[in-house]
Structure 1
């Protein structure tokens, strides 16, 4: 019987690459996202290419009612969830705190922190009922090292780091694994979203070094999810070779 993974934010970046990787390994996938047309088209692609079952759910993780309406009421045949990948997240803006846009702050906190909490709470009953399962939270090196103009984004990812630790402790009694994976610079839509479509600024983010790819991170996620039941990778920071941590890079 194929295993089941839930992946939030599956229309781009790490989420999309992870869905591709797990489907290729014959996992059935529940994929979520806000972009309806893209999400359903991607679901069709996965079904055709890998011959797995795919359930695509269109909602915004920021909206608590939507999260619980969709994930809290999964069809019976989809409730044997093995892995939850809390991937949905974003950065908006790159300004000093005194110049920051409070609307951007709300979006980052509502997505990166509250959205993760809503999704986890909606899915946990399926895991606790079986006394097994694995939650993988996508953090960032920005949650480990604060950098100039990172302020609220760094704070939101530091919250993911702390929440992952707290979940790991609280869910020990249910034999549920919790892993946090913290990627460094990776070439996805991240920079384009952060700079609100300014592709020149986005391109500068990765100039002078080879960043991680979404596929690199997806492979690490799959490895983390595929270990034997008695092994849990608790906390993993992964960067490209040119990056020492959240701040220091070697650029040509």
Structure 2
């Protein structure tokens, strides 16, 4: 019997954790939709990956674009087996709540939580209809731990945590799995973008904490969860650098 090639849809695929996950999936011969608002970056990544990939410029805060996202990919990429909700940011974050910008809060939550919900809503019905699928939600330790000066980001990730639990419960009578990955400090460009491109601020931030995860560490965790037999669901995975607690 011929085994159908699996297809993944990865948001925030252009860099960091999303790029590492896409690269790991490609190594397992998974067909991938690379979704990111950075059109040039995903085009470049698609040209580097040796496999079936389709770069999809997508801003997950654009409701109409998300609703029509599957219509914009070739037919062979539309039956999604693995959804990786990775896109997110903390632009304007790391500031005391009373000093923060409401516009920044809104943008963080609109991407990290509402955008994730929109993408999931666009893809989940097809998974249910086909009777299989894995949803990987990239959460954070900030979903469960108090991190001062990170109110909007932590609130968005706490929303992802609860959403993951609720969807998992709603799908309990189906073969679908909902996997929540909660990484600690990871060396990505989220800190640079948080400070609106200030690379020196990012360097000092990582230097202050010392040890950090690499995107590839998080990607290995995702691949481990996806590799489990169908009756095993890694519901939550809490991943920290060794020097953290």
Q: Specify the TM-score bucket, using the shorter chain as the normaliser.
A: over 0.9
Q: For residues 117-140 of structure 1, what are the alpha-carbon distances to aligned partners after superposition, in whole Å with 9 as ceiling and x for unaligned?
A: 000000012201111111000000
Distance 1:67 1:36 in 2: 15
Q: Which runs of 5+ in 2 are unaligned?
A: none
The Cα of 1:148 is off from its aligned counterpart by 1.1
**What's the secondary structure of 2:206's corresponding residue?**
coil
Distance 2:126 2:9 in 1: 12
In structure 2, the partner of 1:53 is 52
| Range with bigger deviation, 203-212 or 235-244 | 203-212
Asked if structure 2 preserves the Cα contact closer than 8 Å seen for 1:72 and 1:123, the reply is: no
In structure 1, the partner of 2:26 is 23
In structure 2, the partner of 1:248 is none
**What's the secondary structure of 2:160's corresponding residue?**
helix
Asked if structure 2 preserves the Cα contact closer than 8 Å seen for 1:72 and 1:122, the reply is: no
Distance 2:162 2:224 in 1: 23
Asked if structure 2 preserves the Cα contact closer than 8 Å seen for 1:32 and 1:39, the reply is: yes
In structure 1, the partner of 2:15 is 12
The Cα of 1:78 is off from its aligned counterpart by 1.7
Aligned residues: 240
Asked if structure 1 preserves the Cα contact closer than 8 Å seen for 2:70 and 2:78, the reply is: no
Asked if structure 2 preserves the Cα contact closer than 8 Å seen for 1:86 and 1:136, the reply is: yes
**What's the secondary structure of 1:187's corresponding residue?**
coil
Q: For residues 218-250 of structure 1, what are the alpha-carbon distances to aligned partners after superposition, in whole Å with 9 as ceiling and x for unaligned?
A: 111111111110000001110100111xxxxxx
**Is residue 156 of structure 1 aligned with residue 159 of structure 2?**
no
Distance 1:26 1:43 in 2: 14
Q: For residues 67-121 of structure 1, what are the alpha-carbon distances to aligned partners after superposition, in whole Å with 9 as ceiling and x for unaligned?
A: 1111366543223321100000111221111110111111111000100000000
Moved over 2 A (4+): 71-76
Asked if structure 2 preserves the Cα contact closer than 8 Å seen for 1:127 and 1:133, the reply is: yes
The Cα of 1:197 is off from its aligned counterpart by 1.4
CA RMSD of superposed structures (Å): 1.3
Q: Which runs of 5+ in 1 are unaligned?
A: 245-252
TM-score, scaled to structure 1: 0.92
Q: Which residue, out of 40, 44, 57, partners 2:43?
A: 40
**What's the secondary structure of 1:231's corresponding residue?**
coil
